[in-house]
Amino acid sequence: MQSLDAHALAAVRGGSSTDFGRCGPGSAWPWLGNVYTPECAAHDAAVRGAEAKGTPTWLAHVEALPKLPAAVWSYARAKITGH
């Protein structure tokens, strides 16, 4: 299995968004730093996947709520351990 960072993943999926997989609400909170984790990417994928199916943005975020705790913990883990 090969691991891709957020920039490589954006290229594979045909986008240029460097916010995909970044923990936090995009680049709106720069003080969070540029932390990218698989859990944050899974949350982003859930939101974007729902939006791609026509789900309104607010509802896509509600539907992705089950993935949010893991994303938050992965951010804390990355800040503490550097991974």
Give residue 57's pLDDT: 95
Give residue 14's pLDDT: 45
Q: How far apart are CA 33 and CA 52, in angstroms?
A: 28
Give residue 72's pLDDT: 97
Name the residue ranges covered by the structural domains of the chain. Answer: 6-81
Three-state SS annotation for 17-74: CCCCCECCCCCCCHHHCCCECHHHHHHHHHHHHHHHCCCCHHHHHHHCHHHHHHHHHH
Backbone angles phi, psi at 26, to 5 degrees: 60, -140
pLDDT by residue, tens only, the chain of 83 residues: 556 555 555 545 544 467 899 999 877 888 998 999 999 999 999 999 999 999 999 999 999 999 999 999 999 999 999 87
Structure tokens at 21: 């997989």
